[in-house]
């Protein structure tokens, strides 16, 4: 949709690519951002590799208004997200004094080199810390860098999500009792006419009263109603089960 705020999501971790861990972070972020009025244009899952992270994050940063990364920010050998971002933007990896103070305050006498590794961030990084956070939200340019553990990531995002709020989406769902092929020509005609409305068509199995869900979504309520009225007028009456 023209003029909308856009985002890209990058999931970082060999454990995701190998199937050892199921990714739930991209689904969570995509759902939350949609509710906030942000359009997610791309989701990428990449390996724990500095060159790959740097290249992907730099490309996303240039392409979208916001970038959200998940994974690779802990104290172990495979936590290379910060180094990758620094590499991608040609900046130094530096010790962040604000993060260092937080970790020293929390860990006290138990501080060690592994913990101190978590103070290293791309030069120019900013942090957003709340009292009930274990670790601050780390931001570099338009990139929001989150941990891979879903509970930590969701907790952090929930504290800052309002800063991303844009104009809302208007969404309608049509439940149809027919095969997609029976309404494809009609739907294609309406889709072509109303380019500002995003339509989707999804076959559904196992439901007794409907076989297809058609969605119509846009940031203009007037455009949605106009397009939907025309689609409903063109559809055979017997196929429509309900509109939500």
Q: Which of 14, 26, 18, 19 is nearest to 67 (CA)?
A: 26
Decide if pLDDT at 73 tops 60. Answer: yes
Tell me the residue length of the chain.
244
Render pLDDT for 22-56 as a digit per residue (tens, 0 to 9).
Answer: 999 999 999 999 999 999 999 999 999 999 999 99
Largest CA-CA distance found in the chain, in angstroms, rounded: 73
- What domains can be seen in the chain, in order of their start residue? 6-164 (3.40.980.10), 170-243 (3.30.70.1030)
Say if residues 100 and 136 touch (Cβ distance below 8 Å).
no
Helix, strand, or coil here: 60? helix
The structure's pTM equals: 0.89
Q: What is the mean pLDDT of the chain?
A: 93
Locate the DSSP E strands across the chain: 6-12, 39-46, 66-70, 93-95, 120-122, 126-128, 137-140, 143-146, 170-176, 198-203, 212-218, 240-243
C-alpha dihedral sign at 224, 226, 232, 235: negative
Render pLDDT for 111-164 as a digit per residue (tens, 0 to 9).
Answer: 777 777 888 999 999 988 877 777 889 999 999 999 999 999 999 999 999 999
- Higher per-residue confidence, 102 vs 223: 223
pLDDT average, residue stretch 59-68: 98
Decide if pLDDT at 1 tops 60. Answer: no
pLDDT for residue 112: 79
Q: Which two tokens stand for residue 121?
A: 């961030």
Q: Which two tokens stand for residue 6?
A: 């856009």
Task: Give the Cα separation of 120 and 117 in Å (integer).
Answer: 6
Task: Give the Cα separation of 208 and 147 in Å (integer).
Answer: 42
46-55, 74-83, 229-238: range with lowest mean pLDDT? 74-83
């Amino acid at each position: 949709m023209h003029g909308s705020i856009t985002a890209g999501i990058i999931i970082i971790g060999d454990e995701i690519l190998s199937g050892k861990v199921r990714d739930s972070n991209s689904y969570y972020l995509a759902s939350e951002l949609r509710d906030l009025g942000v359009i997610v244009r791309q989701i990428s899952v990449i390996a724990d590799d500095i060159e790959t992270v740097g290249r992907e994050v730099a490309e996303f940063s240039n392409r979208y208004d916001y970038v959200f990364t998940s994974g690779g920010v802990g104290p172990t050998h495979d936590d290379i997200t910060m180094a990758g971002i620094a590499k991608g933007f040609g900046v130094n990896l530096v010790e962040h004094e604000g993060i260092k103070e937080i970790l020293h305050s929390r860990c006290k006498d138990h501080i060690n080199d592994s913990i101190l590794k978590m103070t290293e961030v791309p030069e120019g990084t900013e942090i957003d810390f709340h009292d009930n956070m274990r670790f601050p939200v780390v931001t570099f340019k338009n990139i929001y860098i989150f941990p891979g553990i879903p509970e930590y990531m969701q907790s952090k995002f929930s504290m800052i999500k309002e800063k991303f709020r844009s104009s809302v989406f208007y969404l309608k769902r049509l439940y149809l009792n027919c095969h997609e092929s029976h309404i494809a020509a009609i739907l294609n005609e309406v889709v072509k006419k109303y380019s500002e409305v995003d339509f989707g068509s999804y076959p559904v199995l196992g439901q007794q009263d409907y076989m297809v869900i058609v969605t119509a979504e846009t940031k203009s309520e007037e455009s949605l109603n106009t397009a939907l009225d025309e689609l409903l007028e063109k559809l055979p009456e017997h196929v429509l089960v309900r509109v939500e």
